[in-house]
């Protein structure tokens, strides 16, 4: 508990007031940011339909706005708080309680989903301390998502059966056959999810050992892991990507495929990128989802990553020489990023080959890879068709496809592959 207490003492955010006082000593916490959300009761109904876990659960809804939020969004937040209160009265005997945290007028510089997650997750840490537990589990969720009924039990069991694991990602699938979804939007969400799954598998294929999905509604972690990595960031978007790729540095994590989270496929202008933004652009005529990162660019990384275990035995001259054999685009990027110097510095600070190889991917990490992909596509290599690159990747891992397959068929193959992680 000491590590949790030290973390809370370092936090200086004093935003938010609670409308509810939980009576149960929860150790499982579901954190839901809510901004201008008209349908959050659908999400609560989905959680209420779940089979109860063994431990007590608290659902924390962080209803937030910023100092420049439009009046309509602020009014919706007020309505959301009231509707959740009424929902609670109708569900007094549930296995979980709901805690509404109202956060108003956040400074515009940082206001957004990242800060709202942080407020809720920090509150969960505080409750774990108050309940006198040394550990707890924090679920990251969204106000427009739903789950299978075994959601709580599957996550609880995963941590119980794997006590050394710090966090788990959770299998997700965007629903694209619901009522009211136009053919165009349906195609858009299929394309977006296919891009996500292709990107993860391509990272794995090129040799990166921490190829995970980073979906804000689809992961859970130990409270101690959360605080060891400094808590959630305050990014307005992409907070899940940055946070989860910090968590992997702790080691020991997994993926839960025995349950499923269904994030909403709706379009949104809440964040500058991510699912909602991508679908909004697609619906407005953007061709962006017709393309993805070229498999060729991922292939540039394979020879470099394959050397991770061998660099330890090389001297400075040999390391520099090995970089001269890489693709010219990757050579240029590594020169700009001073990658050789980074590796030499790492060697000087590692005691053995095992430690070096582990920390090698702390330097050449997911952020480094993403920067290279954007560098290569911005300088010499065009992005490629989303209809061809996933097929090429499948062929490279030994899956031969027969006949012409739709992108929906290809997505199903990738979903099934991800279920095996």
The answer to whether residues 279 and 335 belong to one domain is no
Dig out the tokens for 158 from the structure: 């995963």
Look-up of token digits 């537990």: 133
Compute the distance between CA of residue 220 and CA of residue 169 in angstroms, rounded to an integer.
7
pLDDT of residue 179: 74
pLDDT of residue 85: 96
pLDDT of residue 198: 98
Q: Which residues contact 5 (CB under 8 A, 6 or more apart)?
A: 129
Q: Per the domain annotation, does 131 fall within a domain?
A: yes
pLDDT of residue 269: 56
CA 3 to each of CA 118, 316, 379: distance values in angstroms, whole numbers, following the listed order? 17, 40, 46
Compute the distance between CA of residue 316 and CA of residue 49 in angstroms, rounded to an integer.
60
pLDDT of residue 69: 92
Q: Per the domain annotation, does 60 fall within a domain?
A: yes
User: What average pLDDT score do residues 32-55 get?
Assistant: 97
The answer to whether residues 242 and 113 belong to one domain is yes
Q: Which residues contact 374 (CB under 8 A, 6 or more apart)?
A: none
Q: Per the domain annotation, does 361 fall within a domain?
A: yes
pLDDT of residue 273: 56
Q: Per the domain annotation, does 413 fall within a domain?
A: no
The answer to whether residues 282 and 306 belong to one domain is no
The answer to whether residues 119 and 181 belong to one domain is yes
pLDDT of residue 119: 95
pLDDT of residue 371: 96
The answer to whether residues 270 and 374 belong to one domain is no
pLDDT of residue 328: 95
Q: Which domain holds residue 114?
A: 2-286
Kindly tell me if the per-residue pLDDT of 393 is higher than 70: yes
pLDDT of residue 337: 94
Kindly tell me if the per-residue pLDDT of 326 is higher than 60: yes
CA dihedral for 44, 277, 114, 111, sign (positive or negative): negative
pLDDT of residue 16: 80
Dig out the tokens for 211 from the structure: 């190829």
Other Cβ atoms less than 10 A from the Cβ of 421: the count is 16
Backbone torsions φ then ψ of 412, nearest 5 degrees: -65, -35
Compute the distance between CA of residue 181 and CA of residue 124 in angstroms, rounded to an integer.
36
List the CATH number of the domain containing 108. Answer: 3.90.550.10
The answer to whether residues 158 and 134 belong to one domain is yes
Q: Which of 266, 286, 306 is the last residue of a domain?
A: 286
Provide, for the chain, the percentages of residues in helix, strand and coil under a 3-state DSSP scheme, each rounded to the nearest 5. 50, 15, 35
Query: Cβ distance 77 to 65 under 8 Å?
Result: yes
The residues that bridge with 60 in the sheet, in sequence order, are 31, 99
Question: Count of domains in the chain?
Answer: 2
Grade residue 402 by pLDDT with cuts at 50, 70 and 90. Answer: confident
User: What average pLDDT score do residues 86-92 get?
Assistant: 95
The answer to whether residues 129 and 220 belong to one domain is yes
Q: Which of 229, 254, 286 is the last residue of a domain?
A: 286
The answer to whether residues 249 and 351 belong to one domain is no
Q: How far apart are the first and last CA of the chain?
A: 32
Other Cβ atoms less than 10 A from the Cβ of 401: the count is 13
The answer to whether residues 278 and 356 belong to one domain is no
Helix (H, G, I), strand (E, B), or coil: what is residue 300? helix
Q: Per the domain annotation, does 408 fall within a domain?
A: no
Q: What angle do CA 230, 231, 236 make, to 5 degrees?
A: 120
Compute the distance between CA of residue 374 and CA of residue 366 in angstroms, rounded to an integer.
12
Largest CA distance in the chain: 71
Question: What is the dihedral angle through the alpha carbons of 105, 110, 114, 120, rounded to the nearest 10 degrees?
Answer: -40
Percentage of the residues of the chain whose pLDDT score is greater than 90: 76
Q: What is the DSSP letter of 52?
A: P
pLDDT of residue 235: 82
The answer to whether residues 178 and 208 belong to one domain is yes
The answer to whether residues 248 and 369 belong to one domain is no
330-345 tens-digit pLDDT: 999 999 999 999 999 9
Query: Cβ distance 255 to 421 under 8 Å?
Result: yes
Q: Which residues contact 271 (CB under 8 A, 6 or more apart)?
A: 112, 113, 236, 237, 277
Compute the distance between CA of residue 79 and CA of residue 64 in angstroms, rounded to an integer.
12
Q: Per the domain annotation, does 421 fall within a domain?
A: no
Q: Per the domain annotation, does 119 fall within a domain?
A: yes
Kindly tell me if the per-residue pLDDT of 274 is higher than 70: no
pLDDT of residue 211: 96
User: What average pLDDT score do residues 375-391 get?
Assistant: 94
Compute the distance between CA of residue 231 and CA of residue 117 in angstroms, rounded to an integer.
10
Q: Which of 234, 263, 286 is the last residue of a domain?
A: 286
The answer to whether residues 200 and 307 belong to one domain is no
Q: Per the domain annotation, does 346 fall within a domain?
A: yes
Other Cβ atoms less than 10 A from the Cβ of 398: the count is 6
Grade residue 237 by pLDDT with cuts at 50, 70 and 90. Answer: confident
Mean residue pLDDT of the chain comes to 92
Kindly tell me if the per-residue pLDDT of 373 is higher than 90: yes
Kindly tell me if the per-residue pLDDT of 268 is higher than 70: no
């Amino acid at each position: 508990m000491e590590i949790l207490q030290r973390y809370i003492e370092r936090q200086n955010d004093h935003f938010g007031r609670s409308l509810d006082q939980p009576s149960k000593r929860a150790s499982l916490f579901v954190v839901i940011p809510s901004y201008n959300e008209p349908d959050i009761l659908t999400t609560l109904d989905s959680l209420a339909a779940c089979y109860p876990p063994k431990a007590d659960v608290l659902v924390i809804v962080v209803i937030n706005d910023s100092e420049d939020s439009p009046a309509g969004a602020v009014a919706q937040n007020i309505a959301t708080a009231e509707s959740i209160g009424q929902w609670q009265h109708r569900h007094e005997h549930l296995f979980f309680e709901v805690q509404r945290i109202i956060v108003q007028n956040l400074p515009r510089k940082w206001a957004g989903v990242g800060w709202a997650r942080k407020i809720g997750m920090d509150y969960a840490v505080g409750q774990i301390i108050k309940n006198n537990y040394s550990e707890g589990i924090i679920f990251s969720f969204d106000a427009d998502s739903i789950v299978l009924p075994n959601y709580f039990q599957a996550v609880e069991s995963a941590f119980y059966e794997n006590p050394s694991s710090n966090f788990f990602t959770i299998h997700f699938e965007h629903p694209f056959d619901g009522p009211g979804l136009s053919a165009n939007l349906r195609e858009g969400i299929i394309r977006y999810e296919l891009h996500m799954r292709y990107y993860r598998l391509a990272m794995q294929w090129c040799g990166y050992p921490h190829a995970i999905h980073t979906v804000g509604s689809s992961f859970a972690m130990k409270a101690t892991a959360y605080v060891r990595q400094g808590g959630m960031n305050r990014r307005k978007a992409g907070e899940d990507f940055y946070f989860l790729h910090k968590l992997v540095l702790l080691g020991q994590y997994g993926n839960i495929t025995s349950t499923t989270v269904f994030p909403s496929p709706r379009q949104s202008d809440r964040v500058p990128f991510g699912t909602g933004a991508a679908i909004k652009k697609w619906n407005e005529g953007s061709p962006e989802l017709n393309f993805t990162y070229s498999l060729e660019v991922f292939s540039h990384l394979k020879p470099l990553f394959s050397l991770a275990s061998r660099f330890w035995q090389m001297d400075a001259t040999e390391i520099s020489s090995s970089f001269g054999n890489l693709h010219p685009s990757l050579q240029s990027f590594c020169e700009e990023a001073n990658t050789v110097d980074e590796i030499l510095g790492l060697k000087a600070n590692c005691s053995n080959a095992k430690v070096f190889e582990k920390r090698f991917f702390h330097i050449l990490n997911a952020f480094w890879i993403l920067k290279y992909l954007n560098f290569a596509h911005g300088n010499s290599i065009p992005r490629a068709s989303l209809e061809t690159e996933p097929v090429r990747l499948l062929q490279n891992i030994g899956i031969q496809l027969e006949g012409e397959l739709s992108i929906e068929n290809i997505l199903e193959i990738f979903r099934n592959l991800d279920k095996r992680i």
